[in-house]
Amino acid sequence: MRSLIRRARSNSLVELVVLVAVALFLALTVQAYAIKPYRIPSGSMEPTLRIGQRVIVDRLTHRLGDNPNVGDIVVFNPPAGADDEQCGAAGQGEGTGSPCSRPVPKKSSETFIKRVVAVGGDTIAIRNGHAVRNGREAKEPFIADCGGGSDCNFPHAITVPKGYVFMMGDNRGESDDSRFWGPVPVSWVIGRALVTYWPPDRINAF
């Protein structure tokens, strides 16, 4: 009888270990391929996303071929020159009349989170911090006031290349984005933000 009890306990322990291992494997697989949490590191997306907020990012649908749309908030790898506001096109970007139309070719290992304001084939200019897409100023009630500096106005429109997306932070006066270092290849996009989950009083779906 005791032998049977010991055997049952041993089997239960083995089953528990297997269940834990399977659960761990599934959790790691889901995080690697389907969804992943991200922490907001800067104020460039305020007031929509504040420093320290956590968001869940859908990585799977992009892997399956779903491309970002205008209005989506996405996590992506910027161009390698993003930290230095380095534009891949001469005479564009910071201090000029037109936003940057081409990034440097190398991808950074950093991850940024911004909003898609234009996609491949669109024209884009900036007026008082607002995106002017295909000649029409976008309705963007969610953005912070740009502050009226030179970085808030790029009146000369550029065309976003096919297969690229143009990114801007919602905090237009405090965001390093595609205005300065160019649009981002769709292949550099990691996934779309689905929902904020922390802190609890800021829970919101996009």
Residues 99 and 154 in one domain: yes
Q: Which residues are tagged catalytic?
A: 44, 114
- DSSP assignment letter at 163: T
CA atoms in the 13 A half-sphere facing the CB of 194: 14
One domain, residues 135 and 60:
yes
**Residues 34/60, Cβ–Cβ less than 8 Å:** yes
Non-local (6+) Cβ contacts of 16 within 8 A are: none
- Backbone dihedral region of 171: left (phi > 0), alpha (psi from -120 to 50 degrees) or beta? beta
Q: In this structure, are residues 173 and 146 in contact, taking their beta carbons and an 8 Å threshold?
A: yes
- Residue 42: give its domain's CATH number: 2.10.109.10
The whole-number pLDDT of residue 35 equals 74
- Judged against a pLDDT cut of 60, whether residue 11 lies above it is answered with no
Please give the tally of structural domains in the chain: 2
Q: Letter for the amino acid at 16? A: L
Domain range for residue 11?
1-33
Q: Could you tell me the pTM of the whole model?
A: 0.82
- Please provide the size of the chain in residues: 206
Which strand (E) or helix (H) includes residue 32? helix 2-33
Tell whether 131 and 150 lie within a shared domain.
yes
Q: Are 146 and 51 contained in the same domain?
A: yes
Which residues face 76 on adjacent strands?
A: 112, 189
80: three-class secondary structure by DSSP: coil
Quick: pLDDT tens for 52-108: 999 999 887 766 567 899 999 999 999 998 988 899 999 999 889 999 999 999 999
**Residue 60 and residue 27 in one domain:** no
